[in-house]
Structure 1
Amino acid sequence: MSEQQSMPQIIETQPDRTDLPLAVMPTVFEAMIEPFKANLPLLHDIARVRMYTDRTTDKETLLARSADADAVMVIGFHIPDAALDRFCGFDGGDGHVRCFAFGGTGVASYINMAKTRERGVRVCNIVHYGDHAVAEHTFALILELARETGRLDAEVKADDWTGAEGYALHGKTLGLIGFGGIGQTVARIANGFGMHVAVWNSHVDPAAATELGVELIDDMGDLMERADIVSLHLPLLESTAGIITARQLDRMRPGTLFVNTARAEIIEPGALTARLLRGDVQAALDVFDHEPLPMDDLLRTVPGIVLTPHVAWRNDEAYVSLTRQVVQSVASFFTGGDFNVAN
């Protein structure tokens, strides 16, 4: 059965209150359904809610389900410019959405922020909901590169006892580009491994740097050259898009481990693929320029690369904070507040 043919369960609140605006969640991850239901009372007497409980990224399905929405809760799908116009009733579109409540950070890679600003459509994102989730996944990727547990598991199950030589984390230098909530959590974990942590010194909280005993390095290229492991934790903003260049990536030494659980768009287009295809740097990536990653993408050909499908943010703890903030954003919009406004 295709996405368009499926008949998802629909959860509605206050359906008879047609005097209230309508907030629609056109798709959701199954694990988020119960956390969202627990927070829907926050919209009592503020807005009706219609939540579709299946998972789809089909643009026409999303648009059809949101046709009469005043606000849309955006959970894990992109809104291209043409779809944005239709959602909001511009350029011949029939929608009337006035607010998008995005269930994540890095909203700029999902919605055209300049366009929403121009047209007076509010966009909200959420903050610090998944600091631990992303930090833990970062170390899962680092450990996979260092100890290859996935490959070794498959070999043992195939009766191959060859094994592999591990790469020690203790005493190595972890270079962090980005030192907000996630970067600081990664640093705390790294301290537990006995690693030396160096941080690119841009907008770094001095108190946090002192508390965590990190070394601040002013030049990003210098950091990449000195680090044994480079991990990215910058948000995607207009000021950070493409901030990591081919010249900086070129300074990584052979044998460096490179991890990205932030956003692919903070790297100059094509620069990372070109660097990794040289074959002397190992990488683990959770984010990509195009998602899902196309089957013919050259990243798939990089030897030893570890790829995960943009899941660093997804765990049970993160869902509790995420769902509450999304609902709070919608409630704030309809009551004249400014909670978590991103644009």
Structure 2
Amino acid sequence: MSVIETTPSREGLPLLVIPNCVPVMVKAFRALLPEFDGLCRVRLFTDTMLDEEILARRMKGADAVIVVGFHVSDDLLKTLSQTVRCIAFGGTGVDNYVNLDKAQEYGIRICNIVHYGDAAVAEHAIALLMEITRRVGEMNADMHEGEWQPLDGMELCGKTMGIVGFGGIGQWVARIAHGFGMHVKVWSHHAHDEAMQQIEATSVDSIHELFESSDVVSLHLAYNKHTEGIITADDLAALREGSILINTARAELIEMGALAQRLEKGDIYAGLDVFDTEPMPEMDPLRVAPNTILTPHAAWCTDQAVHNAVRQCVDSIRGFYTGTATNVVV
């Protein structure tokens, strides 16, 4: 762990603390630190610490903080409220990470980032799908072991892609699927008539209908109190033999334990980038589930998406110090 500080001797300036950091974001934050010159001091911790007590000590005395990858409990929020007046989150679904009502009660501005990685996440969803259907990684490993054995694949052209949620990421996935020659079906809370027409997508009335009529289902809903567990065991049971489920959104969208149980039957496939507990526990049943491709919540992790995320965090904090509003949620 190292600590990067700017103008530490200028104690008259307010203090911005970044109490931990994903390794791939450190370089991006360092490149933008000069934008805070004259506005605030910055204290950037470059490790991935998640211990709440340590994080609280690191943020002591801060006027603003940037939160990357940890939940702010009600107790921690109360502690921070003694000095902190702005929290910028390095993600979109902030209501999963902080009690927004309490933040408003304490007078703390909450900011998030939006559409920073739509293309990145969509491409990763398709990468998971392609690994399942064409098994490139598996054949590459075999080749490096000296084998020469072509493996059967699944052709996507003519298949049906079902998309749950049709925001920025869902629309990217739909366009790619359409480019493959797939038929696209969509279930969404909101109407997106123009985007649907562009790719000749059709709308369905229920998630259950989407699951039972699609060859591939890709999840792209935001996670909140209304969408928690929205995918039920009954929905998963409706998947036909050979169907594929892709989840680069949130694990909590699926009823707890239902996916592992469904995969045990061995007749469907899954490509998963998100999990109920992260990092994923060693004994998580999904680690040994058949027909499953797993990645460690990496869909967002591209050079451009990282830059976009850090850029928006910096802009939110600069807005706070200069009296403007950028990506303000509360």
Give your verdict on TM over 0.5.
yes
Counterparts in 2 of 1:297 and 1:34: CA distance versus 1, 3 Å: closer
Q: Deviations over 1:120-163 (max 9, x none)?
A: 33321100000011011001100111112222222222223333
Q: Tell me what 1:222 maps to.
A: 209
Q: Give how far 1:211 is off.
A: 2.0
Partner Cα distance (1:64, 1:224) in 2: 47
Partner Cα distance (2:88, 2:126) in 1: 29
Contact 1:173-1:195 at 8 Å conserved across structures = yes
Q: Give how far 1:171 is off.
A: 1.1
Contact 1:47-1:331 at 8 Å conserved across structures = no
Contact 2:266-2:291 at 8 Å conserved across structures = no
Contact 2:15-2:41 at 8 Å conserved across structures = yes
Letter in 2 for 1:43: F
Q: Give how far 1:114 is off.
A: 4.0
Letter in 2 for 1:267: I
* Aligned residue among 94, 97, 101 for 1:110: 97
Alignment length (residue pairs): 330
Q: Tell me what 1:79 maps to.
A: 72
Paired residues for 1:1-343 under 5 Å: 6=1, 8=2, 10-89=3-82, 96-343=83-330
Q: Give how far 1:324 is off.
A: 1.0
Q: Give how far 1:15 is off.
A: 2.6
Partner Cα distance (1:72, 1:125) in 2: 12
Tell me the TM-score normalized by structure 1.
Answer: 0.89
Letter in 2 for 1:26: P
SS at match of 1:241: coil
Partner Cα distance (1:228, 1:234) in 2: 19
Partner Cα distance (2:264, 2:104) in 1: 39
Contact 1:286-1:312 at 8 Å conserved across structures = yes
Structure 2 runs not aligned, ≥5 long: none
SS at match of 1:142: helix
Structure 1 runs not aligned, ≥5 long: 1-5, 90-95
Contact 2:121-2:248 at 8 Å conserved across structures = yes
Partner Cα distance (1:277, 1:97) in 2: 47
Q: Deviations over 1:73-118 (max 9, x none)?
A: 11223334443344335xxxxxx33322111122233333344344
Question: Relative to structure 2, which stretch is displaced further, 322-331 or 74-83?
Answer: 74-83
Counterparts in 2 of 1:273 and 1:114: CA distance versus 1, 3 Å: farther
Partner Cα distance (1:118, 1:254) in 2: 50
Question: RMSD between aligned alpha carbons?
Answer: 1.9
Contact 2:268-2:291 at 8 Å conserved across structures = no
SS at match of 1:100: strand
Q: Give how far 1:311 is off.
A: 0.8
Q: Deviations over 1:294-331 (max 9, x none)?
A: 11111122112111111100110111211110011112
Partner Cα distance (1:120, 1:277) in 2: 48
Partner Cα distance (1:34, 1:302) in 2: 36
Tell me the TM-score normalized by structure 2.
Answer: 0.93
